[in-house]
Chains A and B, each alone.
Chain A
């Protein structure tokens, strides 16, 4: 096998002791690389020749080779990597002693072996990824999480932390038999400082519960997303969830003030600060925001919540071309900046899909079909001032030809039905059949070019549905087909990733990498950057037990 040959050479390089042995091995590797069509970047070539710091270079090369090889394989299996990845042989297998240990530690009720419960916990929201875990644990305290991890680490038992299991990239379900650590029982709200609006709570709190708790005290969560009824704050933080209000309140890297996390060895890292400003040393909490549970399990969160403002207005607008949507965004930021709280868009294919597949969905602009729809939400403190301002902006945009038609919600019910259309697209996609989801950050002006190109590429075989957070340059590109088909996937990948990379975009704006895109990280991050990530992973989780096979390429985690 050619691939094996290249990898063999990497191992030879790794073990080479003398200079002669090293250069022979390097030469051999270069030959193999050319056979497998993997090009060595100039950087690597130079480094290989000068032969300095070669262990780092070897790691980088092996990452490159393996990820390229895996990408070839992934294309053949509709993005479900489970069929390609092999279980890490250094992990041990769960036995009855382990189960008894956990029962003693957590009590019978918190150790779940029930098949029905496990089936749900093993399957992701889209039913695309399915693991075969035999055990689910429900810790109630940080101490319990710590004890679980300490034990698992000593036994080399892999674990997958799980919140509401609403992720879209297969990050929250086991790949093989990882022990599921369900955080749902850690759902206490610890404190709310009514002066500063700083909320401290446990990781298992459901987002919607936090929203309604805060509502009673005159605050809101700085993030809001479609899955709020199930998703948990720990999961939100671990995946750095974005959502609908990011344009106003910024990402969780800004709003999360502190965290408590448990490392693989059971150490509890208390970073649960409640300060807006704290420049003492490295700000480690950021490592746990968006690392998808691969560096530690988030157990508590301290988050800055903005005051609830009473005046919310929502407009549902039609634009005839993408350029108008873009221009409208620029204008809205300029003229509504102080009250703008969401700027979302969907194209007519998305609208069609929602109207056909969602019960009760009503087209707010039924008189004719438009090419694009935009939702603009404002949030402020003065009802009549805000409404007047928004109306004036909309009317002048209409006169200027940016908007071809539009409606303004007159009550909350109307506003909810407008939001239902935008938030209902993912649900409608699920009902329409198979869906390939891509969550991309692309500069706004280029964003829709990809959609047009994909439509030409897919032709009649599949529908291309585009919507997303225009205000954050975040495109949700969805390819909808009657059923999953390798030929369709081959039309999409790696083209979408390559296109995004070429246009300096990110292949994951807010969904994370999970299992789906772990090996695609190089499309958005340089090998050097990934190498540092690998070093951090090895430092914090040397046995690789935390959410294995995800986030980082397999090649990194399989070398010690």
Chain B
């Protein structure tokens, strides 16, 4: 069985996000970019399944500008067998990504697709669900535990829901999106970085895959959240009560 994992190149989790002066989006020039943390978890899970002998190949897929290849190299250094880069210079919204994915699935015939539950840049949390919808495959989102039964071709997935855990059983092929507590992704070791250099990354364009990437969404404006005002130290209990009553209107 083949597993496809989606990995997205995003502004590094630890970087302070700055909005572009013209408010059209987030500043990405000269900003450290890394693999989306949820995608790392998705890849780790796929690698574990392959290492357990339940899958034969893990293919990492990334979509976006040329530099996505760097992110794919990271994925290959972690252990993915090969990569696919769909090069797109314009922004891709979740539905575009899902449509491209559908085409790749038709070409690659995987038994399982792993995606992060969401990307930390736009926080959409839509792509996995749309891929499953377009393919008419069963889906399990926010997975915190995945168990595969190769014989029965069934995946048992635990997902965190309010107040407890929900356990789903899915027939393969299926789409699984991963949550934070599923696993701890491995580091890229030097021997694996070396091996990754000879691994293949195949390149497509949306046109080659015959996918129209026109978007139905329009970003009107991106703004920073309002700055928190500095606190004040009150000099007495009376002043505190007065402020709570008359300024904050909470008592």
Contact = CB atoms under 8 A, between A and B. Distances in A.
B30 A413 contact: no
A410 B187 contact: yes
Contacts of A410: 34-35, 74, 77, 187-188
Contacts of B193: 391, 395, 408
B190 A414 contact: no
A389 to B, nearest CB: 14
Interface in A379-403: 383-384, 391, 394-395, 398, 403
A405 B189 contact: yes
A407 interface: yes
Interface in B176-193: 184, 187-191, 193
Interface in B31-73: 31-32, 34-35, 37, 70
Contact of A395 (B30, B35, B194): B194
A413 B188 contact: no
Given A384-B70, A416-B14, A411 B34 contact: yes
Contacts of A55: none
Contacts, number: 62
- Interface size class, chain A: 20 to 34
B234 to A, nearest CB: 15
B12 interface: yes
B15 to A, nearest CB: 7
Contacts of A413: 12-14, 34, 37
Given A412-B14, A412-B15, A416-B14, A407 B34 contact: no
Nearest to B34: A411
A542 interface: no
Interface residues of B, number: 21
A535 B34 CA distance: 57
Which residue, of B31, B32, B191, has the highest number of chain A Cβ atoms within 10 A? B32
B189 A411 contact: no
A414 B189 CA distance: 12
A115 B37 CA distance: 48
Nearest to A315: B190
B197 to A, nearest CB: 9
Contacts of B31: 310
A394 B191 CA distance: 10
A319 to B, nearest CB: 13
A407 B30 contact: no
A423 to B, nearest CB: 16
B59 to A, nearest CB: 19
A5 interface: no
A203 B187 CA distance: 41
Interface in A402-434: 403, 405-414, 416
Contact of B13 (A310, A312, A412): A412
Contacts of B189: 365, 405-407
Contact of B14 (A311, A405, A407, A411): A411
Contacts of A527: none
Contacts of B74: 410
A310 B77 CA distance: 23
Interface string B116-150: 00000000000000000000000000000000000
A412 B190 contact: no
Interface of A: 310-312, 315, 317, 362, 364-365, 383-384, 391, 394-395, 398, 403, 405-414, 416
Interface of B: 12-15, 30-32, 34-35, 37, 70, 74, 77, 184, 187-191, 193-194
28 contacts: A310-B31, A311-B32, A317-B190, A384-B70, A391-B193, A395-B190, A395-B193, A395-B194, A398-B190, A398-B191, A405-B189, A407-B188, A408-B188, A410-B35, A410-B74, A410-B77, A410-B187, A411-B14, A411-B32, A411-B34, A411-B35, A412-B14, A412-B15, A412-B32, A412-B34, A413-B13, A413-B37, A416-B14
Given A395-B194, A406-B189, A408-B188, 9 more contacts: A310-B30, A310-B31, A315-B190, A317-B190, A394-B190, A405-B191, A409-B187, A410-B187, A413-B37
